[in-house]
Structure 1
Amino acid sequence: MKKLFPSLVAVKKIVSAVPSSNFAQPDLEKLARLILNLGGLINPIIVRRTGMDSYEIVDGNFEFYAAARAKEIEPFKGETIGAFILEPENEELLLAQLEILRSGAVSESRGESATPEESSITESVGENPVSEPPSSFEQRLINIEARLENEINELKAEHAREKQVLAERIQEVENLFSQQLPLLIEAGLDRRIERLKLESEAAKPPAVELESVTPSLSGSMPLLEALNTQDKAQLKASLEATTFLKAPVIQLILKERDVRPFVSFANVVERIKGLTDKTMIKIIDYWQNTHKL
């Protein structure tokens, strides 16, 4: 077991089931001043966790209320109090020690001078003071702080829920974008090829007219159809004759068409590494010029 050391606990995080009116206010005031002058409490209290960051008094109610009064006097100097926190590994031993200390304190307070009547009164009353309805300023302050703590926790939970909803919406947008992106790229590439085709047409002599991006040649196989169905040896020879394509690019075209047919010239450019849209335009022009009737 680890050695027992007191921890510093925020006074506002602690609540007590015993009202401060059970203790003499002058004594609380005097101890609060001594706590501030000394810079702390020499007798740590004992607390039990009631939440992630909240505690209740097990022993040391008087000291706690004095610390709460010190915090009222000088908030920045009296924010924390030394406390032993009951944990699963030390609770049994701590409570056993506390019981012995309480018994010793009661015996010492009785002493030999105690009369039978006083002993009888002590035994009948017991160790715990009679509880009275909390009415002091300190108790009201503690109740207010507890309510504020609950409201803060609710706001944190609401913030976490809103954050989760936002994350789900962002994920939906990302999924939609990933689905639409290939289509957008395809459409954009088609537009670029069309634009380059138009620019190429404008740069040629007026007598030379190019047909549409997908050639329809009388008596000759269209280029896109040839890329998909023409005999490989014949297609390879035709592509080599263009002088625009390197051997690895031609080999990749022949390989990719076996995977799945090309659906458009933009699809060819997208799938064939090393093939640009400008080169694709040149191939289209070459095919048109060499396959005319």
Structure 2
Amino acid sequence: MSEPITARTVFATLETALTLSWVGGQAGAEQVLRTANETDFAWVGRLNWIQPARIQILGAEEFNFLQSLDNAEREMLISRLLTAPTSAVLVCGDSAYALQLQAAADQVKVPLWYTPEQPSTALEWLIDYQRSQGPSTLVHGELLEVFGLGVLITGASGTGKSELALELISRGHRLIADDTPQLMRVAPNVLEGTCPPALRDFLEVRGLGILNIRRMFGDSAIKRNKRVRLIVRLVRAEEMELPAELRLHGARVSREILTVHVPQLSLPIAAGRNLAVLLECAVRDHIQRLQGYYADQELTDRLQQEMTRSCA
């Protein structure tokens, strides 16, 4: 289970990256921004009066709006801004904006931070931090971006996962992680994969050793992270039974990782099979399925129509 995240924790983590200053509300340093049970809670966002985030981000646009109000309306909105569920306020751009809220933040003990960065930059850093705090796990396999789709290649040792990854990279696809991709649940139904920092850019191929993919193929051959949309499991042909019905629809199941269900396709491997072409076709077919087209269903419909015409 994830640990609770406090205002002090977030400030310490992003202080250097965003050049943060703690302007007011220091007494609220232990404000909980996300409890241990709120792993999927979106607790950061731009100023929103309807569905306020735990960390409210304000910039010049929001302060110009506040300045356009009379004193009574402005004080009322500032009071609303600094009440639950808001646990911290981040002011971006001009430090004078933050000073306008300092007294009110001190009074209600809501942390008030300032960064010289623009709201969009601050939001990107906070969202990235929020994602990094979600549930995660390490899996055995290769993670690549194939035709824009995040594909996790799994299988027993010796099934050729690394060789397949290298072939796909040589065909213009992108490596995300070799051997031990880190998967994170960044939303209730979204699984995102990345590479542990120490292993980034490297691919281990049996017989060749360690290869630096970025140096060999260039920056375009590397992708930092990607949503996992398909799992391809490599299985030795002699170990895989393929009933007649699966020849039409494919060996497809749903695999659950961190409570997220991801489609999984099993591919039998044997001497002479071009796995790179097979995997590319599997990804193209999956993209079509995501768009609502099923080739097996179209074939079935055609055969049924032909049988109907023959019997008429």
TM-score normalised by structure 1 residue count = 0.18
More strand per residue: 1 or 2? Answer: 2
More helix per residue: 1 or 2? Answer: 1
Larger radius of gyration: 1
TM-score normalised by structure 2 residue count = 0.17
